[in-house]
Amino acid sequence: MSTIVLIIVFVFLCLFIVIATEVRARRRSSLSQHNSLKSSNAQYEEVTDSSDAPIPADTTCCGRHAVCENSSLLSSKPDIVYYDDEELDALKGRSADSFTEEERERVEEVFRTMAEADVAGWLRSLQLRDITLPSDILEEALLIVADRRNAKA
C-alpha cells in the first residue's frame, strides 16, 4: 500500500515539475517578445548615470551601462523622443492593417530617411507612443538593429 502512495506522489511531483517548467518557459518567451519591441534613446538625448552627470548619447556606447542603450530596444526611462515624426502620432492605438496607403507611405518615408543608428531609438519611441508599424517595415527595422548589434560584437 505504501508503495502505491509513493508512486502516486512521485507521478504528481513529476507532473508539477513539468507544468512549472512549461509555465516558466512561456513567461520568458512572452517577456522577451514584449521587450523586443521597445526602443532606445535619441542620438543627442542626454543620458544620466547614478552620479547624475550628463552623458551625451551618441552612436558609440559610453561604457557606463551594463547594456549599451544606443542599440537596446528596452526602455530604461519613459521619455518619448521624437525623430521628426510627430505626424505619426495620428496613428496612435491603431493596427497597422487599418492604415491608409498614404499613412503607410508616411511611416515608410520616416523609416527610409532615418539613420541606421537611430532605428532602435525610433522603435522604442513608437512603442512608448503606442504606434504599430506595418509588419514588413518592423521586420526590416529589427534586422537593422540586430545587424548593428552583431557588428559591435
Residue 130 DSSP SS3? coil
pTM of the model: 0.52
How far is the C-alpha of 109 from the C-alpha of 142, rounded, in Å?
17
- pLDDT category at 29 given cuts 50, 70, 90 is low
Tens digits of residue pLDDT in 34-90: 554 444 333 333 333 333 444 344 444 444 444 454 445 555 556 788 888 999 999
Counting Cα atoms < 13 Å in the Cβ hemisphere of 63 gives: 0
How far is the C-alpha of 89 from the C-alpha of 129, rounded, in Å?
7
The per-residue DSSP string of 49-103 comes to -TT--EEE--SS--S-SSS-TTS--S-SS-----SS-GGGGGGTT--GGG--HHH
CA dihedral 49, 53, 54, 59 (to 10 degrees): -50
User: What would the grid cell of residue 99 be?
Assistant: 492604415
